[in-house]
Amino acid sequence: SCGLIYGGVEKDYIGLNESTVWSGGPGDNNKQGAASHLKDARDALWRGDYRTAESIVSQYMIGPGPASFQPVGDLVISTSHKGSSNYRRELDLKTAIAKTTYTVGGVKHTREYFASYPDHVIVVHLSADKDGSVSFGATMTTPHRNNRMTSSGNTLIYDVTVNSIKFQNRLTVVTDGGKVSVVNGNINVEGANSATLILTTATNFKSYNDVSGDPGAIASEIMSKVAKKSYEDLLAAHLKDYQTIFNRVKLDLGTADKSAGDITSTRVKNFNSTNDPSLVELHYQYGRYLLIASSRKGGQPANLQGIWNKDTNPIWGSKYTTNINLEMNYWPAESGNLEECVWPLIDKIKSMVPQGEKTAKVHWGVDEGWVEHHNTDLWNRSAPIDGAWGLWPSGAGWLSTHLWEHFLYNPTDKEYLKDVYPTMKGAALFFVNSLVEEPTTGNKYLVTAPSDSPENDHGGYNVCFGPTMDNQIIRDVLNYTIEASKILGVDEDVRAKMEATVKRLPPTKTGKYGQITEWLQDWDDPNNKNRHISHLYGLFPSAQITPEETPDLIKGASVTLQQRGDDATGWSLAWKINFWARMHDGDHAYRMIRMLLTPSKTYTT
């Protein structure tokens, strides 16, 4: 469970989420018969008839959209505190504790909030600097109609159903002094010295194809365990767990500016006119905090909004977009010494294989290997969605590179590599079995067809064959799997197929403007400011483009980044930051970070 704290005085809302509360249910979203249209689509691509190819893809090869991430609801705390003063709210990244303080009638009130991973509860501690001053009401709400509130002693029990997901919230209170009553779905506290609200959420989700869990039994067990613990016990367990991970990394970018003591909003506002390197340090550590808070073993990976979502119809479904977003969430994980936070992603990727194998068969006619297109969800749906721009078959390849990266950070863990190797091999074999020889260049390259360069079009069409990003991703997943098979001493025959395939991939090239070409053809428009710079995957997160080994391509990457402009959005700036870091030019990287954090610009990230 997690909470988003609004910090109101008379009415404080804590938005609740749990990573397995989604719409939909088990099943796939494959478009039956899709593979039978591959030949017609490819023939249209070979003759340059992109209108026909796009029509075929749109009509016959796109499945229904995935499910969307759903809110649990709200924990609502109500008081009669009118006319407050000295209001302050904060988040301490060193403790992962949020705090709201204010004064009413000469009494200072404090609320401290944290979500405990070891105890699986959200805790809100209410206190005051005068005994007997803590009085409030607490309840839970949900936007989902199928709900039922009951109570047992000082505990509220909230059973809710969202499509195939059933979840139960349990909210209880422990006080020091005062009176407690539970009436009509509300916990009422009067005249306490302090009070601790404890909330947990459990669901019936067991796996992408199993929703047979008992949320009531799970929630009851969690609450029975914490019932024996004091607030101090809960806090100590939380701090030990969180700080063990968070305190591993300290970032020192130089002397702090005098503004470093200001409130964060002021520092952000003034960042474009001050030299405040410690704000960049704070931003970095905030990112580490967010991943610690949203991605731990046993839960789902961080999704588009990271897990904090209040909408039943969230933007982009708040799901897993695998043509950059899911991967981008985990870019700083290994280097940020957040090994514990990577496991939800690793477990998710492994669990996607059965659905991806079905989609490989239905959509691509491939009997060996698995595929993931540009979106998935709790149910691991893997078919292309939305429109022709969704027929991008390289999601499993990109995701599998994360499995290899984790091994690179743990190179002595052969048991881990043995465990993830079949998943990597399946992603690689999909390409071995689905790539086709293109007849247009005379080079007999093996290419993806149809595909697209994510989120971008050429002359108004999305469909293409052999876009640069695909070639770069496939080169990585094949080479990594080849290396893994050597380390494990397995699959010599499969390795030979992969080695033969990787030799026939189109190379990354520069075009007529000196840029890295986004497509196999030189179609790039220098006035195109699309925020997705997919064809620089080879620059970052891969290392196929480096100043030491490919200086010409580094020049091409520089031209591409200049063409996309300094006013580009967050994705573009992320690539620019990594480009200058790779060039060992900290001044330019810092300038890009300034642009990313400058409030006068609006960035879509």
pLDDT tens for 278-319 read: 999 999 999 999 999 999 999 999 998 879 999 999 999 999
> Residue 603: pLDDT band by 50, 70, 90 thresholds?
very low
Question: For residue 239, what pLDDT is reported?
Answer: 98
Name the strand (E) or helix (H) holding 436: strand 436-437
d(CA 203, CA 19): 10
∠ at Cα 605 (560, 542), nearest 5°?
Answer: 50
Whether pLDDT at 599 is above 60: no
Whether pLDDT at 389 is above 60: yes
Question: For residue 604, what pLDDT is reported?
Answer: 37
| Distance, C-alpha 395 to centroid of its chain | 14
Instruction: Please give the average per-residue pLDDT across 110-115, as a whole number.
Output: 98
Of 471, 370, 505, which Cα lies nearest the Cα of 428? 370
User: Do residues 63 and 30 make contact, with C-beta atoms less than 8 angstroms apart?
Assistant: yes
Torsion of CA 117, 120, 122, 123, to 10 degrees: -90
Interstrand relation of 134-141 and 147-152 (parallel, antiparallel or unpaired): unpaired
pTM of the model: 0.96
Residue 511's contacts (CB-CB under 8 Å, 6 or more residues apart) are 517, 522, 524
Instruction: Please give the average per-residue pLDDT across 461-465, as a whole number.
Output: 98
Question: For residue 577, what pLDDT is reported?
Answer: 81
Question: For residue 502, what pLDDT is reported?
Answer: 98
Of 29, 50, 132, 69, which Cα lies nearest the Cα of 380? 29
d(CA 106, CA 128): 11
Question: Hey, CA dihedral for 56, 61, 62, 63, is it positive or negative?
Answer: positive
Question: For residue 578, what pLDDT is reported?
Answer: 79
Instruction: Please give the average per-residue pLDDT across 470-482, as a whole number.
Output: 98
| Paired tokens of 298 | 């046993």
d(CA 108, CA 134): 10
Instruction: Please give the average per-residue pLDDT across 321-337, as a whole number.
Output: 94
Name the strand (E) or helix (H) holding 97: strand 97-104
d(CA 301, CA 31): 26
Question: For residue 605, what pLDDT is reported?
Answer: 32
Question: For residue 449, what pLDDT is reported?
Answer: 98
Share of the chain above pLDDT 90, in %: 85
User: Do residues 21 and 167 make contact, with C-beta atoms less than 8 angstroms apart?
Assistant: yes
d(CA 344, CA 295): 6
Beta pairing partners, 549: none
Q: For 554-583, write each residue's pLDDT tens digit.
A: 999 999 988 876 544 566 777 778 788 878
d(CA 201, CA 159): 10
Q: For 50-82, write each residue's pLDDT tens digit.
A: 999 999 999 999 999 889 999 999 999 999 999
Question: For residue 594, what pLDDT is reported?
Answer: 74
Whether pLDDT at 120 is above 60: yes
Q: Is 234 exposed, middle or buried (0-12, 13-18, 19+ CB in 10 A)?
A: buried
Of 578 and 226, the one with more pLDDT:
226
d(CA 181, CA 191): 12
Q: For 339-352, write each residue's pLDDT tens digit.
A: 999 999 999 999 99
Instruction: Please give the average per-residue pLDDT across 323-347, as a whole number.
Output: 96
Question: For residue 570, what pLDDT is reported?
Answer: 61
